[in-house]
Chain A
Amino acid sequence: MNNIFLDKSDNTPKIIMDRKEHFIEFEGKSYPENTFAFYRPITEWLKGYFQEETLVTQEITINFKFTYFNSATTQIIFEILDIISEAKPKNINISWFYDAENKNGLEDYEDYSEEFPQLNIQAKVT
Chain B
Amino acid sequence: MSPNLKIFIQIDNNTIYEFQGRINERIMIECANHIEKLLIENKVKKEKVQNIFELFIETVQNILNYSYNTVHLSDAHKETSCYFTLSYITNQETYILDSCNLIKNNQKRVIEKKINFLKDFNNDNLRKLIRQKGRSKEDSHSNGAGLGYIMMTKKSSSPIEISFIPYHKDILIYKQRLYI
Which residues of A are interface residues toward B (Cβ below 8 A)? 10-11, 31, 33-37, 68, 70-72, 74-75, 77-78, 82, 99, 101-104, 107, 111, 114-115
Does chain A have a CB within 8 A of B21? no
Kindly provide the distance from the CB of B34 to the nearest chain A CB, expressed in whole angstroms.
12
A-B interface, 5 closest residue pairs, ranked by CB to CB distance from nearest:
A71-B147, A78-B134, A72-B144, A33-B25, A71-B151
Which stretch in B49-57, B89-97, B171-179 binds the other chain? B49-57
Contact B147 A37 (CB under 8 A): no
B54 engages A68 (CB within 8 Å): yes
Instruction: Identify 14 residue pairs between A and B in the complex whose beta-carbon atoms are under 8 Å apart, listed by A's number.
Output: A10-B33, A11-B25, A31-B57, A34-B76, A36-B142, A68-B57, A70-B61, A71-B150, A74-B134, A75-B133, A75-B140, A75-B144, A102-B50, A104-B50
Contacting residue for B131 out of A11, A31, A101, A111, CB 8 A:
A111
Which listed residue (A33, A34, A37, A75) contacts B134, Cβ 8 A? A75
Nearest CB on A from B144, distance (A): 4
Beyond the given A70-B61, A72-B144, A115-B135, please list 9 additional residue pairs across the A-B interface where CB-CB is below 8 A: A10-B33, A11-B29, A34-B142, A35-B144, A68-B50, A75-B147, A101-B47, A102-B47, A111-B127
Shortest CB-to-CB span from A102 to chain B, Å, is: 5
CB-CB < 8 A to A33: which residues of B?
25, 61, 64, 76-78
Assembly CA distance A70 to B131 (angstroms): 14
- B160 lies within 8 A of chain A by Cβ: no
